[in-house]
Every structure is written in C-alpha cells, then in structure tokens.
Chains A and B, each alone.
Chain A
Amino acid sequence: MSTLVAIDPLLTGDVTWSVFLVVLIKVVVAFVILLVAVMLYIWAMRKVIADMQNRIGPNRAGPYGVLQTLADGIKLFFKEQSIPDSADRPVFRLAPYLSIMPAFLMFCVVPIGGTVSILGHVTYLQVFDPPIGALFILAMSGLGVYGVMLAGWSSGSKYPLLGSVRASAQLLSYEAAFGLAILGVLVLAGSLSTHEIVAQQHWTNAWSFATHWFWLKSFVAFAIFLIAATAETNHPPFDLVEAEQELVGGFNTEYTGIRFAIFFLAEFMNVITMSAIAVTLFLGGPSGPGLGFLSSTGTVNVWLMPIFWFTIKVLALLFATVWVRASLPRMRYDRLMSLGWKWLIEIAILWVLVTVTLQVASDANWNRPLSAVIAVGAAVIAYGVLFAAMPKAHETIEEIR
C-alpha cells in the first residue's frame, strides 16, 4: 500500500477479506455512532437549554423525552417534499447531501480510542488515518459550505439566497482563523496525522493534561479555534445564516421533509465533529488516566478508558456549546465580520509565528525565556501597529463623507 493510507498498521500488510471486514465494521460503527450521537445531542441540547431557561423541555416521547428527535425525524421523513417552481431542481436535490457528506467524512479522521486489536488485526480506533489528517479536516470543513451555498442558490428565492451568501462570507472569513489556529497545533506536534497529534498528547502522569495536551501550550490558538469552530458550524451566537427574524429560515427556507431533516442533521453533526476535532487537537483526544488497579493491557484499559475519556471531553465541549447557545444573543453581521477579520485572523497569524519561534528556539537550544519574551513582545508590537493602522468606526464614516 502506498504511504498515503499506510500509517494504520491494519493496512500495512496484505489486504485480506478480514482486513476489509475490519474497515467495513469501523465505517459502519462510525456512521451509527455519529447518527445516534446527533440524535442524543439534539435532545440533550433542548433539555439543557430548557433547564437554563427554567423550562422543562421535551418530555413526551420516551423516558425524559429522549426519543423526541427520533419522533421528529420520522415525522419529517414521511412529510411531503416540495420543490419551488423557480428552483434549480438537480442542484436543489443534491445540496442536502453535499452538506452532510463532509460532516461524516470529517469525523472519520478523529481517533476515538487507542490502538486496539480487532479480528486479530492491530488497528487504530478511527476510520482512517491519512498523513494529511489536519488538511483533510480543513478541506472538509471548507466543502461543507457548498451544501449551504448551493441550497440557497438553487432555491430560487431571495431569503435562502441571502442566507447562503451570508454563509459563504462567514465561512470564508472564519476558515482562515480556523486554519491558522490548527496550524499552531501542527507546529507543536510536527505532524498532520491526527493519530500522531493525539499520540503526542499521551497521558504519562497526573499533570499531563497541562504539560502534554496542547490546549495550554497554545491557549490562544485553542480560544480562536473554539470561536472559529462555532462560527464554522453556524452555531449561536454566529447563526446569522439562519437568522429567523431576518431571513425566515435562512438557506433552508424552501426545504421540506427529509431534505430539511438532512440539513438539520448536518448542522448538528458538524457541531459534534468540531467538538471531536477540538478534543483531538487540543485536549488530548482519548488520552487520560487508565484504571491503575487493572492490567494495562486488559480490555478495560485498552478499549473502554480511552473511549470514555474521549466521550467525556466531547460532552464537556458540547455542553459548553449549548451553554453559549443559551446565553448569548446573535451577533450583528458587521460585528461578526470585524471580529473575524480584525481580531481573530491577526491574532492567529501572530500566534503561529510565536509558536514557530518557540519551537525553533527549543530545537536550536536558544535561550528559551529570552526568545519567548522577544517573540511575544514582537507579536504584541506587530498587532499594535496593525490595530493602529486599522480604520476605526468613526474614521470610516469621516472618509466616506
């Protein structure tokens, strides 16, 4: 096998039917996990938001309303699907799938557990581990905008069009900050492979969460990543794409039935995937303390504990997402743009430069505190100059007059 897919030990040998079977199992399991996770996430989100607004939330379908999403899905599945006369029919039909495929594919590179053995094959608990994993994430998050954009354009209606124009502008703006935030981690890890990035954040002692995980080493990149990822997934407070008060329903106004459900699914799937990627890049992925009293090669420590830690971290991030969603009002569109272009991108670039400097300093055995001070100082000065050069709100008005 070529080196493009050969990092996973599963694929280094001959491809037999059992290898094929393992890959198939992993694909199916990832698919099911993601679907069930979306179902539970939508329910949990509604419950938590209801809690935060002193309501009860869904409580009719199943215990604590846990089957509410399923009921909604079944309802949408059996509803009539309408296509507007002015719609571009093939594109209109295609758009939901363009929106959901990247969300699935992005999840495939996320390691959700350690290195395990299935059917006698040693393999990683992720669907595939390309050497270009981080670039793959960026590519897929960029592709996701096509679904939204084509959906709005092909609807042949003005509000969806406005929604999709907003979506593409917003995604392009935040894609830059998003990529630069990831770059900060890549410099630290020295690899694009998600498995390698996670392996570098392995758990050695009780302080590993601060010393080995990347969130503290690159806390600025972590903050920018979280903000940019929220914007990428069109989650509040950046949900201008589907601002109901202004755009009816946004890009999906003309969609009904299962096509609408697929957009809905894709949106929340993106949230889960982004949380999983944040965990992978910054929070150590599946790394965490094992159960010391059990064998370190036993099923519990090899299989369950990494998955447990991964799940806990993703759940924590998802809760934070919901908390933000329940607390913050939607941003104004120009504020959104100025946050992206005037703050996040600049800070992300400078942070990458600082990280690179520190990395080179440690590689070349320079005086680390001194180089850190110089790098950070230079970055602050650079941002000060940039900020001074930026037009302020009142200045812009003066110039126009």
Chain B
Amino acid sequence: MGRFSGFLVTLRQMGRPRLTTQYPKVKHDKPARVHGRHVLNRYEDGMEKCIGCELCAGVCPARCIYVRGADNPVDDPVSPGERYGFVYEINYLRCIHCDLCVEACPTEAITETKLFEFSFTNRADAIYTKNELVVDDDGRARRMPWELWLGGEDDHTSEWMRATSPSGSRAYENRVNWSGELGFGVRPPEHGQFPAAEGEEK
C-alpha cells in the first residue's frame, strides 16, 4: 500500500474498543490513598473522636484548619475524654490535601475521604464547619449540596489513615492497630500493601 497505508490506520480504529469513561455517569475506582475532603470520625458508640488538641491546626502547612477545644459537658459528653473539638473549620480554598493533619491526629479523628468533586460558589461554602465535617449517624460523610458524588464513593473514608499509621509499617502487617468507627466497626487491614519479597528490609 505504501503511501496509502495511512488510510488503513484510521479505518482500523473504528472497530476498536474505546478507553473513554463516561465520567459523571461512570467513575473509575479510585486508588486506595486518594486524598479527598476530610471527615471527623466517631467511635462506634457515636462519640466523637476529636479531642480538640489542635495538633492538626498546628501541623497544617496551609493554615487552613481552625480548631478550638472545650471541656466536655459532664452530663452530656461529646467525646470520651476530657475535652472535645468545640469549633472545627477547614477552609478548602486553602487546603492542599497533604494529609499532615491525618498523620498528626492522635485519635484518628480526622481522616480523608476520596470525595473531591465540589463546586462551591462562595467562600462561606468553601469553609467546612464542624457540623459538615462530622460523619452522620451512619458513619457516612455528609453530602453538601455542591458536592457531586454517587453512592458507594464514601465507603472508604479512613483508608488513607490506615495506610499511614504505624500499622502501615511492615512489622505490623495485618495487625489491626486502630479503633473502630461508627457505621463500619473495626476496618480490616489492607491486603497486598507489601508483596512478599525475600530479603527486603523492614
């Protein structure tokens, strides 16, 4: 065919399967450690995990977290300890999703979801307050009106935390070292994070 072979190249494409995903309708599974927006987790009994220690705010390189702690009311405690997060705000116009807050958190209270499709139209919406961040009574992230996500995308809210906690080290493989959470209980450890390789350093 020589110089006409280019015509076959284009014609051949017509029968090939398409790689395009019809995005808003169909979504690829996201990698285990995608950094989406945060949630504030609760224990299985419904108590909040956040103790208002402000370590997340201190470590945040973008300074987008604002936390104020307060003493737990004696008759109606919010969290199991002495203090709880009284004010908790994250400004998503500044957040860079580095997850240093997740690593800093001593109680696994703040973790990241895989949800990232927001289209807020004003600054007030961009600042998530505590009511918006705390998971609901089923342990699920709360859906804001400007967030676009489908059912099931909020299943893996704390996966990133489990991957980066000390249990992520190979010495702790398959050892659960994290607390249970509302709606999900104690999450199973990840599989296949370390492929079996001999002579590999721990």
Contact = CB atoms under 8 A, between A and B. Distances in A.
Given A52-B14, A326-B10, 7 more contacts: A48-B14, A52-B10, A54-B13, A54-B19, A55-B18, A55-B20, A327-B6
Interface of B: 6-7, 9-11, 13-14, 16, 18-20, 22
B13 A52 contact: yes
A54 B7 contact: no
24 contacts: A48-B14, A51-B13, A52-B10, A52-B11, A52-B13, A52-B14, A53-B10, A54-B13, A54-B16, A54-B18, A54-B19, A55-B18, A55-B20, A56-B18, A56-B20, A59-B22, A323-B7, A323-B11, A324-B7, A327-B6, A327-B7, A327-B9, A327-B10, A328-B6
Contacts of B9: 327
Nearest to B8: A327
Contacts, number: 28
Contacts of B14: 48, 51-52
A300 B181 CA distance: 73
Nearest to A329: B6
A332 to B, nearest CB: 15
A59 B23 CA distance: 12
Given A323-B7, A328-B6, A53 B13 contact: yes
Nearest to B17: A54
B17 to A, nearest CB: 9
A53 B18 CA distance: 10
B201 to A, nearest CB: 44
A53 B11 CA distance: 9
Contacts of A56: 18, 20
Q: Give the interface centre of A53, A55, A326 by most chain B CB atoms within 10 Å.
A: A326
Contacts of B10: 52-53, 323, 326-327
A51 B9 CA distance: 12
A51 B17 CA distance: 10
Contacts of B7: 323-324, 327
A324 B10 CA distance: 9
A328 B18 CA distance: 22
B165 to A, nearest CB: 42
